[in-house]
C-alpha cells in the first residue's frame, strides 16, 4: 500500500472519529433529557404528562424509522440552516446528530425504566423532589445501562458515518466506496474495513468495561 493511501486512510479515520465524537456528544446532551422525560412522563409517573409523552414518542419513532440515507437528504435545508452548508464533514454532523438523538433517547429511556420502582417510592418517602429523584436516584442507578446504551449508539454512529459520503462528508466509509469499490482497489477496501472493525472493538470494550465498573449490583472479586 502506497504512503499516499496510508495518509488517506489516516485522514479518513480522523474525519470519522470527528463526526462520530461530535455527533455522539451533542446527541447525548439532547437525548439524555429527552430519554429521562420519556421515562418519567407516563401516566402516574414523576413528571406525568401522558399526552406530551405520547406525542414525543410518535416523533421519536418517526425519526428512528426513517432510513438514514433518506434522512440525510431530506433534512438538507435544516443542515444548511445549522452548519451554513450542506456539504462536508462538519455538515454531516447535523444528520448524524438528528439520527442519533432519538436513538439515544430511547436507549436512555430503557435504562431509566430498568431502575426498580421501589427506589423511586423510597426516595419519595424520604422527601425527595422529582428533580432530586432524577439526579440522585434514577441517573446514578441507570448509569451502567446508560453506558452500554451510549456504546451501542457510538457503534451505530460509526456505521451511519459511512453513509455521509453521499453529501461529501468524507470519512472511512466514503473512502472505501470511492477507492475500494469505484476504483476497484480491494486492498484499500480491506484496510478500511479493518480500521472500522478495530474502532468498533475498541469502543465496545471501553463501553463494556465502563459499564462493569459502574455496576455495583453484582459482586466484584
Partner 1 sequence: MNAPLGYLGDQPLQRLVPAEPIVRLEKITKVFAGRDGLPVSALEGVDLAVPQGSVLGIIGRSGAGKSTLIRLVNGLEKPSSGRVIVDGADISALPEAALRHARRSIGMIFQHFNLLSSRTAAQNVALPLEVAGYDKAAIRTRVEELLALVGLSDKRNRYPSELSGGQKQRVGIARALATNPKVLLSDEATSALDPETTRSILDLLARINAELGLTIVLITHEMAVIRSIARDVAVIEGGRIVEQGDVFDVFTRPQHEVTRSFLGDETGRALPPYVANRLQPEPKPGSQAVIRIGFRGPHATDPVLARLARDLGIEANILAGSVDEIAGRPCGTLVIGVPEQSLKTTIDFLKQYGLDTEVLGHVA
Residues that bind partner 1 (CB under 8 A): 116, 118-119, 121-129, 132, 136-137, 140-141, 143, 214-219
To partner 1, the closest distance from the beta carbon of 89 in angstroms equals: 38
Greatest alpha-carbon pair distance for the chain in Å reads 67
Using the Cα atoms of residue 75, residue 77, residue 83 and residue 87 in order, give the sign of their dihedral. Answer: positive
To partner 1, the closest distance from the beta carbon of 176 in angstroms equals: 41
CB atoms within 10 A of CB 139: 17
Task: Return the C-alpha torsion angle 193, 99, 27, 218, nearest 10.
Answer: -70
To partner 1, the closest distance from the beta carbon of 171 in angstroms equals: 37
To partner 1, the closest distance from the beta carbon of 105 in angstroms equals: 22
Among 61, 59, 41, CA closest to 51: 41
Residue whose CB is less far from partner 1, 77 or 217: 217
Residue whose CB is less far from partner 1, 21 or 119: 119
Residue whose CB is less far from partner 1, 116 or 187: 116
To partner 1, the closest distance from the beta carbon of 36 in angstroms equals: 16
Residue whose CB is less far from partner 1, 93 or 150: 150
Residue with cell 439524555: 32
CB atoms within 10 A of CB 161: 28
To partner 1, the closest distance from the beta carbon of 144 in angstroms equals: 8
**Angstrom distance (rounded) from CA 157 to CA 173:** 12
Residue whose CB is less far from partner 1, 4 or 121: 121
Helix (H) or strand (E) holding 133: none
Cα angle vertex 147, ends 36, 170, to 5°? 100
Residue with cell 428533580: 131
To partner 1, the closest distance from the beta carbon of 157 in angstroms equals: 27
C-alpha cell read off for 46? 414523576
C-alpha cell read off for 128? 425527595
Residue whose CB is less far from partner 1, 66 or 132: 132
Residue whose CB is less far from partner 1, 45 or 193: 45
| Residue 170 phi, psi (nearest 5) | 70, -160
Amino acid at each position: 500500500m502506497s504512503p499516499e493511501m496510508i495518509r488517506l486512510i489516516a485522514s479518513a479515520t480522523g474525519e470519522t472519529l470527528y463526526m462520530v465524537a461530535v455527533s455522539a456528544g451533542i446527541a447525548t446532551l439532547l437525548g439524555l433529557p429527552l430519554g429521562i422525560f420519556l421515562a418519567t412522563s407516563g401516566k402516574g409517573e414523576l413528571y406525568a404528562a401522558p399526552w406530551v409523552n405520547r406525542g414525543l414518542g410518535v416523533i421519536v419513532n418517526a425519526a428512528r424509522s426513517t432510513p438514514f440515507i433518506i434522512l440525510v437528504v431530506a433534512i438538507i435545508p435544516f443542515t444548511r440552516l445549522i452548519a451554513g452548508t450542506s456539504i462536508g464533514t462538519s455538515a454531516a454532523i447535523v444528520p448524524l446528530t438528528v439520527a442519533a438523538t432519538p436513538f439515544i433517547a430511547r436507549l436512555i429511556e430503557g435504562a431509566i425504566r430498568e431502575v426498580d420502582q421501589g427506589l423511586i417510592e423510597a426516595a419519595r418517602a424520604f422527601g425527595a423532589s422529582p428533580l432530586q429523584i432524577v439526579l440522585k436516584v434514577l441517573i446514578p442507578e441507570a448509569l451502567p445501562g446508560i453506558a452500554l446504551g451510549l456504546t451501542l449508539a457510538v457503534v451505530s454512529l460509526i456505521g451511519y458515518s459511512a453513509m455521509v459520503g453521499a453529501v461529501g462528508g468524507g470519512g472511512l466509509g466514503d473512502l472505501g466506496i470511492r477507492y475500494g469499490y469505484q476504483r476497484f482497489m480491494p486492498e484499500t477496501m480491506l484496510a478500511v474495513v479493518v480500521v472500522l472493525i478495530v474502532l468498533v472493538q475498541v469502543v465496545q470494550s471501553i463501553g463494556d468495561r465502563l459499564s462493569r465498573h459502574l455496576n455495583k449490583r453484582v459482586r466484584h472479586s
